[in-house]
A and B are shown apart, each in its own frame.
Chain A
Amino acid sequence: MKRKKKNQEIIIEDISNTAPDLVSGEPVGFETSEKSERISTNTAPDLVSGDDNIVIDMKHIIKRYFIGQPNELEVLHGVDMQVRRGEFVAIVGQSGSGKSTLMNVIGALDRPTEGEYTLDGVDMFNAKDKDLSAIRCKKIGFVFQTYNLVARTSALKNVELPMLYAGLSGRARSRKAKELLEMVDMTERMHHQPDELSGGQKQRVAIARAMANDPAIILADEPTGALDSHTGRLIMDIFHRLHEEQGKTIILITHSPELASECTRILTLKDGLFIDEKKGSGRNAVL
Chain B
Amino acid sequence: MLFFENLLLAFSSLLTNKMRSLLTMLGIIIGIGSVIAIVTVGNALTNSITSEMSDMGANNIVIGVQQRETEDEVDESGKRYGGKINARDMTDNDLIKKEYIEELLAAFPEEIKGISIESVLGTAKVEKGRNYANVRITGVTPGYFMANNIKMQYGNELSDKAYMEGKSVCLVSDHFVNNMYDGDSSKAIGRDIEIEMSGGRKYFVFTIVGVYKYESQGFDMTATKDVTTPVYIPIKNAIKKNHAKGFPSITIITAKGVDSDDFAFRVKNFMNRYYHNNRQYTISTFSLAQMVESMTTMLGTVSTAISIVAAISLVVGGIGVMNIMLVSISERTREIGTRKALGATNGSIRTQFIMEAIVLCLVGGILGILVGLAGGAAGAKALGYEASPTASSIIAALIFSMVVGVFFGYYPANKAAKMNPIDALRYE
Interface residues of A (CB under 8 A from B): 104, 107, 109-110, 129-130, 133-134, 136-138, 142, 144, 148-152, 161-162, 164-167, 169-170, 209, 213
B343 lies within 8 A of A162 (CB): yes
Chain B contacts with A in 160-180, Cβ cutoff 8 A: none
Which of B5, B335, B342, B420 has a CB less than 8 Å from the CB of A142?
B342
CA A213 – CA B341 in complex, angstroms?
13
B12 lies within 8 A of A152 (CB): yes
| B2, B338, B425 — most chain A CB neighbours (10 Å) | B338
Closest 6 CB pairs of A and B: A137-B343, A165-B343, A133-B345, A148-B338, A110-B422, A109-B422
A104 lies within 8 A of B422 (CB): yes
Chain B contacts with A in 7-55, Cβ cutoff 8 A: 12-13, 16
A169 lies within 8 A of B1 (CB): yes
B2: min CB distance to chain A, Å: 7
Which of B5, B13, B335, B344 has a CB less than 8 Å from the CB of A133?
B344
B1 neighbours in A (Cβ, 8 Å): 167, 169-170
A152 neighbours in B (Cβ, 8 Å): 12-13, 16
CA A168 – CA B344 in complex, angstroms?
13
Which of A104, A110, A165, A167 has a CB less than 8 Å from the CB of B342?
A165
Taking A136-B341, A149-B338 as given, write out 19 further A-B residue pairs in contact, using a Cβ cutoff of 8 Å, ordered by the A residue number: A109-B340, A109-B425, A110-B421, A129-B346, A130-B346, A134-B343, A136-B343, A136-B421, A137-B344, A148-B334, A148-B338, A150-B335, A150-B339, A152-B13, A161-B339, A161-B342, A162-B342, A164-B5, A170-B1
Which of A133, A144, A150, A170 has a CB less than 8 Å from the CB of B346?
A133
B331: min CB distance to chain A, Å: 10
**Least CB separation from A166: chain B residue:** B343
A149 neighbours in B (Cβ, 8 Å): 338
B362: min CB distance to chain A, Å: 21
Interface string of B280-298 (1 = CB under 8 A from A): 0000000000000000000
Identify whether the interface residues of B are mostly helix, strand, loop, or mixed.
helix
CA A149 – CA B12 in complex, angstroms?
16
A137 lies within 8 A of B421 (CB): no
CA A54 – CA B420 in complex, angstroms?
28
A165 lies within 8 A of B335 (CB): no
A109 lies within 8 A of B16 (CB): no
**Least CB separation from B423: chain A residue:** A110
Evaluate whether A133 and B422 lie within 8 angstroms (CB atoms) in the complex, with A150-B335, A150-B338, A152-B16 already known. no
CA A137 – CA B345 in complex, angstroms?
9
CA A136 – CA B348 in complex, angstroms?
14
CA A150 – CA B12 in complex, angstroms?
13
| B2, B341, B346, B425 — most chain A CB neighbours (10 Å) | B341
**Least CB separation from B6: chain A residue:** A164
A165 lies within 8 A of B348 (CB): yes
Can you list 15 contacts pairing A with B, beta carbon distance less than 8 Å?
A104-B422, A109-B340, A110-B420, A110-B422, A133-B345, A134-B343, A148-B334, A150-B338, A152-B16, A161-B342, A162-B342, A162-B343, A165-B348, A169-B1, A170-B1
**Least CB separation from A101: chain B residue:** B422
CA A181 – CA B1 in complex, angstroms?
23
A261: min CB distance to chain B, Å: 28
B13 neighbours in A (Cβ, 8 Å): 152
Interface string of B338-373 (1 = CB under 8 A from A): 111111111010000000000000000000000000
B356: min CB distance to chain A, Å: 13
A150 neighbours in B (Cβ, 8 Å): 335, 338-339
**Least CB separation from B418: chain A residue:** A129
B338 neighbours in A (Cβ, 8 Å): 148-150
B344 lies within 8 A of A148 (CB): no
Which of B5, B334, B344, B421 has a CB less than 8 Å from the CB of A109?
B421
**Least CB separation from A110: chain B residue:** B422
A169 neighbours in B (Cβ, 8 Å): 1
A213 lies within 8 A of B335 (CB): no
